[in-house]
Amino acid sequence: MSGFVSFVSSGPGDPELLTLKAVDRLRRADAVLYDDLSAGPILEHAREGADLVGVGKRAGRPSPRQDHVSRLLVDYAATGARVVRLKSGDAGIFGRLEEELIALRAAGIDHEVIPGVTAASAAAAAAGIPLTRRLTARRLQFLTGHDVSGVLPGDLNMAALADPGATTALYMGRRTFAALARRLIDAGLSPDTPALLAEAVSTPEERLSRHSLTGLAETAGAQPGDAPALILFGPLAEED
């Protein structure tokens, strides 16, 4: 007897940004394994009586091991349950989706992936700017700010990241941004490149602040805080 797993992307936090398909799967699930950033009002869409299991990972906090999360998915589905794995943002963007897909495939469990609004899109919308701009920002790139050890990855393509014609969305990079900014400037990106820090985007605690590349590098890591943060830099639209 085998159940079914739906990887549901919950978006950046605002429950109104859930897709209709995401809400449907939550309402029909027997169990919901959710990330920390998917908790709160989003879980109100889960049906009464469903098992709600927190399996989120947050920097600097005790977190479940990835193999434990994958094992829970397999064990729940093996009972015939309809399972939702609720992931923040879009499940396929820096969400450890692949490890969990591999575990389900190895166990022969059917599954689906439901896309959602990623934090970069929500941050740009909140700031009233486009991620791409005709003639000046023809390329968009997503980057993680740390590797498995928590430091800035050492194998970054600096030529691509320092491209003045690209918009870069940096996930989980507030603590390492100063080091990244130094490398970007060394690679030729202007210190005056616009940068946007978006904290807790799409939630009541949302905070947006605009900087230059060097200005944000001086302040980004000073008071990291607990709010999830995303940084956009590149040819962003000017503030009115």
Residue-wise pLDDT tens digits, 166-223 = 999 999 999 999 999 999 999 999 999 999 999 999 999 999 999 999 999 998 877 6
Q: What is the mean pLDDT of residues 2-23?
A: 96
Mean pLDDT of 5-15: 96
Indicate whether 96 pLDDT > 60.
yes
Whole-prediction pTM value?
Answer: 0.90
Q: Which residues are catalytic?
A: 35, 57
Alpha-carbon distance of 70 to 102, in angstroms, equals 9
Confidence band (pLDDT; 50, 70, 90) for 39? confident
pLDDT greater at residue 173 or residue 37: 173
DSSP 8-state assignment for residue 15: G
Average pLDDT over residues 153-170: 95
Tell me how far apart the alpha carbons of residues 166 and 56 are, in angstroms, rounded to a whole number.
32
- 111 close to 6: Cβ distance less than 8 angstroms: yes
Phi, psi of 198 (to 5 degrees): -115, 120
Q: What is the pLDDT of residues 40-61, one digit of tens each?
A: 899 999 999 999 999 976 555 5
**Any idea which fold 4-114 has?**
Cobalt-precorrin-4 Transmethylase; domain 1 (3.40.1010)
Q: What is the average per-residue pLDDT within 70-93?
A: 96
Helix (H) or strand (E) holding 110, with range, is strand 110-114
Q: Does domain 119-233 have CATH number 3.30.950.10?
A: yes
In percent, the amount of the chain with pLDDT more than 90 equals 79
Instruction: Report residue 209 as tokens.
Output: 């602040």
d(CA 224, CA 104) in angstroms, rounded, equals: 36
**How far is 170 from 64, CA to CA, in rounded Å?**
24
Domain ranges of the chain: 4-114, 119-233
Confidence at residue 62, expressed as pLDDT on a 0 to 100 scale: 58
